[in-house]
Amino acid sequence: MKLPKSVTIKEVGPRDGLQNEKHLVATADKISWIDSLSRTGLSYIEASSFVHPKWIPQLADALEVLKGIKRNPSVTYASLVPNIKGLDRALESNVDEISVFMSASEGHNVRNINKSINETYPILGEVVKEAKMAGKTVRGYISTVIACPYDGPVAPAEVRKVADHLFNMGIDEISLGDTIGVAVPNQVECLLEELLPHFGPNRLAMHFHDTRGTALANIVKSLEMGITIFDSSLGGLGGCPYARGASGNVSTEDLLYMLHEMGINTGIDFNAIIKSAQYIERKLGKKLKSKQMEIKRAEGKESFS
């Protein structure tokens, strides 16, 4: 297998994870959690979102969280921003990187942003321009890159069109999201065969939800095609809003196990990640669903029996 020597994991649990959890986590606990993540060797943490609290009450404290954390200079802290209003608050927080988002499918974009794809470009364009002027790097999320819960399968050419627009705005990196967690490896291959000749592997990240258990298989295919940036969340936090109860992002610790066992370097301390996952598990008051957390709980029970 042709595999990269090292991979960058971008931890999206504090944003993509918590925004989909019913249970509200206290601001002080979020700060402690992000501080613990900052000590694991992670180089990137998406810390919160400046989407209006009406839509995402779980992250209404974005500003306090970003002002409260101890910044590790080796870590890039990012935050999601929907529009110029959100950007103003994000800049106030002095976050390192701004993330913007839209979908590759009309149906999802309209229901998520209340705008068509073409109406969304100028809104994001304004954010990107201002963020760049403020000296920030910008990440773009494209949702529903494989399939849309409203429109069905999404053609790779549609994803390329959106990616083209975003890169032309000056976006530094695009994260390709299988938002509803339906992808299988040959679909990922088709998508990347369309995108890689245009954009190369260094500006593309993959963002898999593990709703159907295929995330790690999709990551292996992406690795073989040259992708080296992957989004994940501790404990697989997140949950897919289109299949409630089913699991969310691919779990950071399960991804770490696989990458390390494959001989791929991440710079991340596996045990520190597990401790950080156990911390947020206690604060959420629910069992995290990753395989590694299940193993830890099973080992814990055995040591008492």
Tell me whether residue 114 or residue 271 sits nearer to a copy of itself (CB atom).
Answer: 271
Q: How many C-beta atoms surround the C-beta of residue 190 within 10 A? A: 13
Size of the site for a copy of itself (CB under 8 A): 40
CB of 177 to a copy of itself, least distance (A): 18
Contacts of 167 (CB under 8 A, 6+ apart): 174, 199, 203
Candidates 36-44, 116-124, 226-234, 297-305; binding stretch for a copy of itself (CB under 8 A): 297-305
Complete DSSP assignment for 25-83: PPHHHHHHHHHHHTTTT-SEEEEEE-S-TTT-GGGTTHHHHHHHS---TTSEEEEE--S
Give φ, ψ of 53 to 5 degrees. -55, -25
Burial class of residue 243 (count of CB atoms within 10 Å of its CB; 0-12, 13-18, 19+): middle
Please report which helix (H) or strand (E) contains residue 138, including its range.
strand 137-143
Considering only residues 188 through 247, tell me which ones interact with a copy of itself, judged by CB under 8 A. Answer: 189, 210-214, 216-217, 219-221, 243-247
CA distance 58 to 49: 10
Residue from 97, 173, 231, 254 in contact with a copy of itself (CB under 8 A): 254
Residue 190 annotated in active site: no
CB of 34 to a copy of itself, least distance (A): 25
Candidates 52-60, 92-100, 126-134, 257-265; binding stretch for a copy of itself (CB under 8 A): 257-265
Q: Select from 216, 219, 176, 220 the least CA-distant residue to 198.
A: 176
CA distance 98 to 140: 8
Q: Which of 240, 250, 277, 280 is catalytic?
A: 240
CA distance 39 to 273: 9
Tell me whether residue 24 or residue 246 sits nearer to a copy of itself (CB atom).
Answer: 246
Candidates 64-72, 82-90, 115-123, 284-292; binding stretch for a copy of itself (CB under 8 A): 284-292
CA distance 160 to 136: 24
Tell me whether residue 114 or residue 299 sits nearer to a copy of itself (CB atom).
Answer: 299
Tell me whether residue 58 or residue 252 sits nearer to a copy of itself (CB atom).
Answer: 252
CB of 302 to a copy of itself, least distance (A): 6
CA distance 15 to 25: 12
CB of 176 to a copy of itself, least distance (A): 18
The answer to whether 73 contacts a copy of itself (rule: CB under 8 A) is no
Binding site for a copy of itself (CB under 8 A): 1, 3, 182, 184-187, 189, 210-214, 216-217, 219-221, 243-247, 251, 254, 257-258, 261-263, 290-292, 294-295, 297-299, 301-302
Catalytic residues: 240
